[in-house]
Structure formats: C-alpha cells, structure tokens
Structure 1
Amino acid sequence: RVYPPVPLDGWPRELAKLQVSGTELEDPEEPGEPAPGVPVLWLNPDVPMSAGKAMAQAGHGAQLAWWQLSGAERDAWREQGFPLAVRTAGAERWKELVESGLPVVRDAGFTEVAPGSCTVVAEHPALVG
C-alpha cells in the first residue's frame, strides 16, 4: 500500500512511527570491498541523502533486483539469507552502472531529492551479463 505524500503530521500515528529517523551515522572508516558474489546496491555519489532516505532507496534497489531474477535465482538468494552490500560508487563507476542495464532506482521527488534522480543501481551477480 502507498500513503500519499503529505507532511508526517498528517499521517496516521501507526504509519508515522514507521519512518526512519535519528539515524545519522558517522563512520570512522570506509567500508571494505564487498565479498565476491554478493549483490551490491550502489548509491549515487552525487545525490546526498539522509541515512533514512538511503535505507529506503537501497530497499527499492533490492526489490527491483528481485523482480528481475528468475524463480531459481530468487530461491538461491533466499537460501543464502539475502546477502547484500551497500556502497557508494565512484563517479566513473556510477556512470558505467547507470548505462549497464541493471535495475536503477529513480526517485519520485516527494522528499529529499529531485524528481527523476537516479539514487541506486542494483548489481546482483545473476543480472550481470
């Protein structure tokens, strides 16, 4: 279900409390390279997002990858426990990813980023040709 984009104080209390907030994190170190064979959700280096927004966009990316997998590929990912990594792409890598044909999350622009902004590319090994 989708609730229309209205200010949070206009949402039912049960729905508003599901929103991610208070999660701005400071990582002292960059994350390492993702393990081989693990799907990676690549964040756009040119679109700043709060931690909550990045979490939502990563979720959308994982869902887009899921929809493009075959039944057997979905079963395999499920059996592995749905491993994945989230990383920010470098500028050149981002350009390659967007042009690769992999699933791309394009934001509707109701919150933090401009409409149509590409925020995440889902690179699942089964989708890489």
Structure 2
Amino acid sequence: MSVLDPLAARYATWLGLPAEETALPEASPEQVRAMPVILRLEKAEPPSRTPLLEAAATAALAVCLDERAQPGREWHEPVHDWVAGHIRKVARRARGAHWVAAQDFPGVTVSVEGAEVRALVPGRVVDVPKEISRLQISGSDLPPDEPGPAPDDLPLLLLNPEVAMTVGKAAAQVGHGTMILASLLGDDELAAWAERGYACAVRTATVDQWKQLHPGDDPAAAWRERRVVAVRDAGFTEVDPGTVTVLAQWR
C-alpha cells in the first residue's frame, strides 16, 4: 500500500479499474492543506531554471515516498491527508539564513547541479510556521536556460510551450507530475526509480512534441501506449482552470 494510492484512484476510471467517485469537494479555508516547496534563490549566485525545477520535481515525490511517510510513521498522517485531497503546493523563495532555517522543518532537500530545493511535509496552510510563511511567494522567477537534450533513461516532464509560468508555479506543477507518474507505476518500476533518487528531466516541449504526446480525449491510451499522464491545473494561480501545464512520461 502506498501513500499515493488516493492519487492513483483518481485515474482509475480511465485505467479501467474499479473506483469510487473521485471528485473532491473544496475544503473550507481552515482545512486547506499544501506542501511548502522552498526554492533556494541566492541573490549573488542564482541557480539555473531547469536544474531548480528538476530538484523541485524530485523533492516533492521524495517526501511522499520517504520511509517516514509509510503507515505508522511520523509523516504518514499529514502526507496521506494531503494526497487524499487537493495536492496543492506553495513555492516560496529563500536565501542565506532563511534557507538555513528551512532545513530545521521536516522535509527533504534535493540538489541538482547546484540548484537546491527543500520540500516540506504538507499540512494545513493556517498552521504553516512563521519561519516559512514569511518567505516570499512572488518574485520567484529565473530566466530561461538551454539545458540541452533530455537523457533518454530518465522520466521526462514537459512544460506546456504555450503557457507562461513563473519558476515557482512551474516547480509546483512538475512536482504534481512526478507524484501522478509514481502513483501509476508498478512496484518494480518504482523501486528502480527509487534507486536513482527519483531523478527526472524537465524540459519545455516543442509545439509538435506537445501535440504528439498530449493525451487528448483518450488518456487511457496515452498511458498504455506512450506512458504519458497530464497535469491539469485547478486554476488557483497564474493559469486558467483546466489548463494542462505538464506532461509526464515514464521512460
């Protein structure tokens, strides 16, 4: 049993599996849960955009599949309660002493090519510690970079080429992508990914690539034939509700 099972259940209808109704009611404001995702953005030496997004995608999944999130362990209840609802993430930026302070809160830090992200154990937004809530959400952007071709042996997360997103928004979306992807994998595939530390590649799709991989009206076939799932945003920030922001492909 995986803490990600509730997430997989939302795809059960098109996977052909028996499932209960998976539509989620909107939580009352005091019950809204989110995962804080802390992006290290030092003023003097900011990271490159792509490695930062790759670190964010890995860190979010690493929290969910950490041993401490297993049944009976200390992270299980908060992670399960969050995954069972809307998987909101709130990306915040930190540097210097504020970044150091963020390491004291339960979570996982991932570094990719010098870019660092710490995903924290999710909880109610109203309960976020002041040391985290004071970190800025706005202004978390970086210029485009040129990362080159994605490695063929890593799961691929493709950003929608026609939707502009800040790095904070994109970090949350690729984190959704790795979680959905992991929730649908078999035990052997997931174990193989774990051995690689849940590493992944993030790229911006070309228009043609996006059209070729997009699930369209047949998400079951997209997963069966191309091992692709879509991240569809709820539209709380930056993009319209229902926008497909990321395609995640198991390779």
Matched, 1:116 2:242: yes
Length-normalised TM-score, structure 1: 0.81
- Correspondence 1:76-115 to 2 at 5 A: 76-99=192-215, 100-101=222-223, 102-115=228-241
Matched, 1:2 2:12: no
Unaligned runs of 5+ in 2: 1-31, 35-85, 89-124, 216-221
Cα shift at 1:22: 3.6
Amino acid at match of 2:140: T
Q: Which has the higher Rg, Structure 1 or Structure 2? A: 2
Matched, 1:61 2:172: no
> Partner residue of 1:8?
none
Cα shift at 1:25: 1.0
Matched, 1:26 2:125: no
CA distance in 2, matches of 1:120, 1:64: 11
- Runs of 4+ in structure 1 deviating by more than 3 angstroms, as ranges, are 15-22
Q: How many residues align?
A: 119
CA distance in 1, matches of 2:137, 2:156: 22
CA distance in 2, matches of 1:36, 1:43: 17
CA distance in 1, matches of 2:190, 2:134: 31
Cα shift at 1:21: 4.4
Q: What SS class does the counterpart of residue 119 from structure 1 fall into?
A: strand
Amino acid at match of 1:72: D
Query: Which protein, 1 or 2, shows the higher relative CO under an 8 Å CA cutoff with sep ≥ 6?
Result: 1
Unaligned runs of 5+ in 1: 6-10
Identical amino acids, percent of aligned pairs: 43
